Each structure stands twice: as structure tokens, then as C-alpha cells.
Structure 1
Amino acid sequence: MTAKLYGIGVGPGDPELLTLKALRIIRESDVVALPGENPGDTVAYKIVVQVYPGLAGKELLAVPMPMTKDPMKLETSHRQGAEAVTALLEQGRQVAFLTLGDPTVYSTYLYVHKRVEDAGYPVEIISGITSFCAVAAKLNIGLVEKAEPLHVVPASYQIEDSLKLPGTKVLMKAGKRLGHVKQMLKEYGEEAVMIENCGMPDEKIYRSVDEIPEDAGYYSLIIVKEKNK
């Protein structure tokens, strides 16, 4: 009998934002998969182990996910990750794949999820608190009100058209393009706030475009609120 793969969102960084359901399934799983060369060094592992020390004694599966846009390299890593997971499922071993935030929002886990599901194995997603909701809460602000739309934008791509949209814009995963993003925000005269490493010990808050550094870390998220007319 084959077991199930669970894609588990562990939240944005604060271990207290891990859901009870996520924690239960992690405890019940035979193997815990983590996206990285060394599972113990991953951010997801460091979040969960704070509230579940037993994670250190679990069998861990490394699923390397290179930070690249090279389609061939990505295809290889996603295929190998799915194959490693399905081999465990064939043995009847339940696998919990941990991912930051929520598995349905720009998550590398989804690439493995789709392949495992297409291969005929049972899969299930366990929702986690998204980074943009956590950032808004940390700043004590709402994301949208009344009829305002919410746009979630991968900022490592072109954002010019997105900045023209009405409502609130959430800019995620800017990475090395953060300098360009900052320049665009200034050119469009936008008001924005950013949190780097939300919920983690090294969290930093930037309350204006001018304060945003161009070399901030990968886990940085910008909220652009529509100006009052």
C-alpha cells in the first residue's frame, strides 16, 4: 500500500505561526522532506524544530532546489525530487514536505507535488500562513478594504505593468532585482513598506522606499498601498 505525500506550509518564520494541523502531520510522518542540500540548514527546518524538537530525530530527505531560471536544471531537480519521494511512498512511508509560507503561493514544493500526483500517488496540501499576511499583521495594517483588489507579484520579473494596477500590490521574491524594484517604485512615486525575514530573529522593517536597501535578503517582501485619492 502506498502512503501519502503532504505538502506542509510552515508559515513565514515565527514558529508560533505553525498550525496545529501542520505540527500533527509532521509528527505522524515517517520522513520529512526539506528543500535544500542539507535539510538541517534549511529555514523550514529551523522554524519547525523550535516547537517540535523531535524533528531532529526524524529521517530527513534532502530535495535540492537550485536558485536558477535555467529550465533544464529546474526540470532535473524537480524530477529527481519527485522520484525520491515516490520511492518512499512505494515503501508505504508517509512523507511531509516542508515549505515556507503556504504551499500554494510561489512554492517550489508544487513542482514535486504535480509530478507525484501525475504518477498516481495520493497527495495533500496543508495550508500555512502566507508571508504577506504575516507582514501586514506585523505592520498593524490591512492589505485591502472594501472593493480594493489585491495583486501578488513575483518581483524577480517585470513589475512595471503591475505597479499601474489599482489596489494593493504585494511584491515577493525580488532577489537580485531589488535595486531595480526600488528604482521603479521611486519613478512611479509609490509609497511602500518592506520587511526582511519576517518573524525571524534577524527581522528588519523598512517603512519607506528610501529606507529599503538594495542588498536585502531573499526573504524580503514589499507592500505597496494605493494612494488615497
Structure 2
Amino acid sequence: MMQGKLYGIGVGPGDPELLTLKALRLVKECDVIAVPGTAAEESVAYQIVKGAWPEIALKELLPVPMPMTKDPRQLEENHENGARSIEAILQEGKQVAFLTLGDPTVYSTYLYVHKKIQSWGYEVEIVSGITSFCAVAARMNMGLVEKAEPLHVIPASYQIEEALKLPGTKVLMKAGKKLGEVKEQLLSMGAQGVMIENCGMENEKIYHTIEEIPENAGYYSLTIIKE
């Protein structure tokens, strides 16, 4: 019997119209749709695809719990469990589409599962999606980088002081609960920037200056700092 194949599918940042034709085709073709979270229907990635193709509701869904934690043992356990549940479906010869926000190659929890499934000898494929930082720049009608400017993508929930001194454009992702501290650092440096919360979604909020940024903004907030 043929083994199934796992597709890691980037569904873009939030606007269903930013889903690629390839992503949508594979969602339609795959037997099972794996979705990060305990309730598949509540996942943002699922809702994005549903906005473009409501029939996803008729598909077999596999929730893959991915709790937000930095505890290495807990993370390893979650990734192992998620990968095993996907493996069971692949062994039945079914194709699995794992939905992931933005692009699967950028700070995506999907990658942990991808590596495990691949190391166990299954076929895997990553399908690129539009990244949040490109979508935010487009939404603000501005370029990210021009001429010889470098671009730095920084996970803002870690130490970022040194990274903020780098030349060029800085993208701050996944600040989470540290947003208040990040805002203070940016203000003390006199940095210029913009932030969008939930880019392309119904509850989108745009902040044109660092001062405007609320300290309790949601997880899907992205800040762009220009020189």
C-alpha cells in the first residue's frame, strides 16, 4: 500500500484572498486537514481557508495541539504526539494538508512536525504562503527594503536590544506578552515604526507610530521599524 504524503501549507497572513491557488488546490485534494490547536474549527488558519472555500467544513479535520510554551520537554512531547497522529493517517495511504499561518518556513510550529515525519521516511512538501511582514508592508503602502538596505526578521519575545541596533529595516514578530517592554525599548531609542494587529482579518488594527501601540495587543501583531 502506498504511504501518504504530508504537505505543510502556508495560508497567508489573514485575508482569504491572499491564499495561493496551489494552497487551495491541495486543501481540496488532500484527504485530511491537520490544523494547529485543540479545536480545529476555532483555528485562525482554518478560518482563513474557510473564507476562500467554505466546503473545508466537510473535510476530515485533525486537530494538532500546540500549546504556547518555551519548556523544551513539553514542546518535544507536543511535537512528538502531533507527528504520531499525522503518521497514523499517512500509514493509511492518505494525504495530509497541515495548515499554517503565513509561510511555513518562518517561525512556524509546523516545521517541528515536518522534520519528524521526514526523518521517519515519509514524503513531505512545503507550500509557501505570503508572509505577515510582506502583507503588513503592503497594507501600509510602503516598501520593506530598498537599494542596499538589509532586512532583519526578529522574534521579539527574546532579547532584542542588540538586534535593534542593526542597520536597515527591522521586523518584530511574536512579541506576545513582552510587547510592553519592546515598546519601551523602541521609544527610548527614538525608533520610527508602524504596527498592525491581525493584518487582513476582520479585527485588524493599524498603529502608525510606536507611541500608539497598546501594550496588550494580540499575538498576531507585527511591527516594522524603518531607519
Residue 178 (structure 1) aligned with residue 191 (structure 2): no
Distance 1:171 1:79 in 2: 29
In the alignment, structure 2 segments of 5+ residues that lack a partner are: none
Rounded to whole Å, the distance in 2 between the matches of 1:117 and 1:19 is 24
Q: Could you tell me how far apart the structure 2 residues matched to 1:55 and 1:72 are?
A: 34
CA displacement, residues 9-46 of structure 1 (integer Å, 9 cap, x when unaligned): 00000000000000000000000000000000000011
For residues 156 and 15 of structure 1, the distance between their equivalents in structure 2, rounded to whole angstroms, comes to 28
Q: How does 1:75-224 map to 2 (within 5 A)?
A: 75-224=76-225
Q: C-alpha separation between the residues in 2 aligned to 1:46 and 1:29?
A: 17
TM-score by length of 2: 0.99
Alignment size in residue pairs: 226
CA distance in 1 between counterparts of 2:15 and 2:163 reads 29
Give the 3-state SS of the residue equivalent to 1:165 in structure 2.
Answer: coil
Displacement after TM superposition at 1:223 (Å): 0.1
1:31 partnered with 2:29: no
**Paired residue secondary structure (2:52):** coil
TM-score normalised according to structure 1 size: 0.98
Cα distance between partner residues in 2 of 1:201 and 1:51:
14
Paired residue for 1:58?
59
Q: SS of the residue aligned with 2:88?
A: helix
- Aligned-residue sequence identity (percent) comes to 69
Distance in 2 of aligned mates of 1:102 and 1:50: 18
| Distance of 1:135 and 1:97 partners within structure 2 | 24
Which residue in 2 is equivalent to 1:72? Answer: 73
CA positional deviation for 1:194: 0.1
The residue type equivalent to 1:26 in the other structure is V
Which consecutive segments of 4 or more residues in structure 1 shift more than 3 A? Answer: none
